[in-house]
Amino acid sequence: MIKRKRVVINLSKMIEQGKTIGIIGGGQLGQMLALSAKQAGMYVNILDPNPHCSAGQVADELIVAAYDDQQALAVLAKKSDVLTYEFENVDLDALEAVAQFTYLPQGTELLKITKDRILEKSFLQKHGLKTAPFRAVNNSDDLTKGLEELGYPSILKTCQGGYDGKAQYSLKTVTDIKEAKALLEAGPCILEGFVAFSMECSVMVGRNADGEVAVFPVSENIHRNHILHESIVPARISSTLQKKAQEVAENVARALNLCGILGVEMFIGKDQEIYINELAPRPHNSGHYSIEACNFSQFAVHNRAILNWPLPQIELLSPVVMVNVLGQHVDGVKQLIKQKPQWHFHDYCKDLAKVDRKMGHVTILTRDVEKTLAEIKTTKVWD
């Protein structure tokens, strides 16, 4: 390992090539951040408890430790000129404790807000942005009262943690209450009312320390069992709604004083209003299409933002469909490599394929979205 002298960064200037980015988290998002950073001439250090993690395979150095190991985080921070993270379930106290050792452009307030669903929705509403109606739920009485006010269907989620439908329960009738109450044992929850929507979509938005903003196209997202299945870009909505969704994402970025990339998940209401569902303060699954379909990927924009490089105007080079590869799809997708020379196959190099575990994705540039969607279905891999 080459020894590199770390210098104190002047935060008003951009961080030069040849410096080191430290990433907390070694999953596929960390892997793609690292690959993009290496392409831009940066060194990359990763912290993750898994010695075989995806990002560690492409990094300059891997520190094997738990995410809340403050001593190990301090080592990562001291070895890095800038520190970032690939997911929001970072231990906030540990991150605040090591911020003194390096440059943390995202700060901790962004993470504090987006880690807690109550804080997140309250913040959005305070800034005039629409969300589903919600109530804080700390016990059975709160749940009963919340359901009386919001009605059915509603969804109960833990305030912190959970992804891809985990740590949440849909309540369609009064008979669902008994099973849903088990979530309360995990800690504070949020009850969200139903939004009548015609589409789920998202917008990736990046912002640097100088306040420059880069906004990506609107992605139409199709889920199966609460897990993203396909992203279609541009979303099949009017140009007026597309522009409105991008403006909402930019407004969120500015309100948060964002530095880095942010995924803004939205509902397109049947009333043609835009409701924000969740925020992801890091790269997002629905932005993977950007690697091939845009002039700059979401990963490149995140890295440029935290390094305070100038941000580009994002261009969609081609309509695109991205489809996720879960554990149950791996064998079928491997066969498709021989049949689909125009498809882009991504494998996250995870050590074990499990049902519903994200193992990779496929990106398909297209001139005819409907034809491509039919082609994906014809393969029967994703049935």
Tell me how crowded residue 299 is: count the other CB atoms within 10 A of its CB.
26
Q: Could you tell me if 106 and 281 are in contact, meaning their C-beta atoms sit under 8 angstroms apart?
A: yes
138, 147, 159, 226 from 181: Cα distances, Å? 10, 12, 14, 20
CA-based torsion, 20, 23, 28, 33: positive or negative: negative
Domains and CATH numbers, the chain: 20-104 (3.40.50.20), 133-193 (3.30.1490.20), 197-378 (3.30.470.20)
Give pLDDT tens digits along the chain (383 positions): 334 444 344 455 789 999 999 999 999 999 999 999 999 999 999 999 999 999 999 999 999 999 999 999 999 999 999 999 999 878 999 999 999 999 999 999 999 999 999 999 999 999 999 999 999 999 999 999 999 999 999 999 999 876 656 778 899 999 988 888 888 888 899 999 999 999 999 999 999 999 999 999 999 999 999 999 999 999 999 999 999 999 999 999 999 999 999 999 999 999 999 999 999 999 999 999 999 999 999 999 999 999 999 999 999 999 999 999 999 999 999 999 999 999 999 999 999 999 999 999 999 999 999 999 999 999 999 99
CA-based torsion, 157, 237, 274, 305: positive or negative: positive
Name the packing angle between helices 28-39 and 298-306 (round to 10°): 70
Cis amide leading into 234 (omega within 30): yes
> Length of the chain in residues, anyone?
383
